[in-house]
Structure 1
Amino acid sequence: MARDTLERAQQAYDEGDYAKAISTLKSGGVSVFDGAEPATRQSAMKLEAFSYCVNNQIPECRTQFRKVLDAFPSFDLTVAERKHPVWGPAFEAAKRMKR
């Protein structure tokens, strides 16, 4: 169920419907991803953060990155992702808040 929800959200994101990606991730409820395998849960959380960022919801993006870091302390973005003009700075801000 979690993997299906993530795939539907990823499809919406890929189609540029970031609000739908967010609502799809949230429609599954936290419990769907709480019981999911860690890789699926982390991917869903990261996708939600990216969706907030590209939907120009920067505070929500930073908050979501903090949630990812709380759940997965060793989480990091790839070098290319860190260079993104929107979510790169949001992620760095979330990391600074963790210190």
Structure 2
Amino acid sequence: MLGACTQTTSQQRYSNEQIQHSRTALQSVRESYDSGNYGDVITRVARDDRLHEAPSDIRVEALKLQAFSLCMRNYAAMCKERFQTILSLQPDFDLSDGERGHPQWGPVFEQAKQVQ
């Protein structure tokens, strides 16, 4: 009976409103990324509190898009730092096969994993 009353950590920590705001912010980041506005992605993820305070799955996706954008703008060291941040939040994180094979961020991600 007590099990029915317990909530997961995510449910306790985030309201539905916070989660929705985080998803909205992430969607804006995705749209900027898909449009090739990498500078906007980098800035949005860095400055948007809705993403900083989001559940880890949303934060991880935002940070991944920021890492990709940093690599696309030739900021390999910062890209690697973002991947390391992702790996600290989610140690089992991995890129898809298509993402892993990308010539700009694939090798940077592998370097980040080795540091982990």
TM over 0.5: yes
Could you say what the CA RMSD is over the residues aligned between the two structures, in angstroms?
1.2
Once residues 38 and 71 of structure 1 are traced to their aligned partners in structure 2, the CA distance between those partners, rounded to angstroms, is: 7
Q: Kindly state the Cα deviation for residue 34 of structure 1 after the two structures are TM-superposed.
A: 4.2
Q: Kindly state the Cα deviation for residue 45 of structure 1 after the two structures are TM-superposed.
A: 1.3
Aligned residues: 96
Q: Tell me which amino acid in the other structure corresponds to 1:21.
A: V
Q: Percent identity?
A: 36
Is there any run of 5+ residues in structure 2 with no aligned partner, and where?
1-20
Moved over 2 A (4+): 32-35
The higher-RCO structure (CA 8 Å, 6+ apart) is 1
| 1:12/1:20 contact within 8 Å kept | yes
Kindly name which structure, 1 or 2, has the bigger radius of gyration based on alpha carbons.
2
Q: Kindly state the Cα deviation for residue 87 of structure 1 after the two structures are TM-superposed.
A: 0.5
1:45 matches 2:57: no
| 1:2/1:28 contact within 8 Å kept | no
Once residues 79 and 15 of structure 1 are traced to their aligned partners in structure 2, the CA distance between those partners, rounded to angstroms, is: 22
